[in-house]
Amino acid sequence: MTPLENEIDAVKKELINMWILVQSQLNKAKDAMVQFDKDLAREVLIKEKRVNSFELKIDRDIENVFALYCPVAVDLRFLLAALKINTNLERIGDIAAGIAKYVVDASVNFDSRALESTSIIRMYDEAVNILIDTRTAFEKEDTVLARSIFKRDDVLDAINDNAPSAIAEVIKADISNVTEALFMLSIIRKLERVGDQSKNIAEEIIFYVEAKILKHAERNTKGE
Q: What is the CATH number of the domain that holds 162?
A: 1.20.58.220
First to last CA, the chain: 46
pLDDT tens string 11-64: 999 999 999 999 999 999 999 999 999 999 999 999 999 999 999 999 999 999
70: left (phi over 0), alpha (psi -120 to 50) or beta: left
The angle at the Cα of 175, spanning 170 to 176, to the nearest 5 degrees, equals 110
Residue 221 has pLDDT above 70, yes or no: no
pLDDT one-digit tens code per residue, 119-153:
999 999 999 999 999 999 999 999 999 999 999 99
pLDDT of residue 216: 54
Helices (H) and strands (E) in the chain, counts: 8, 0
Cβ atoms of 65 and 8 within 8 Å: the answer is yes
Closest to 88 measured CA to CA, from 211, 205, 212: 205
Write out pLDDT tens, residues 23-38: 999 999 999 999 999 9
Q: Which residues contact 34 (CB under 8 A, 6 or more apart)?
A: 110, 115, 121
Total Cβ atoms within 10 A of residue 183: 20
pTM as predicted: 0.92
Cβ proximity of 51 and 160 under 8 Å: no
Domain tally, the chain: 1
- Structural domain of residue 7, as residue ranges? 3-223
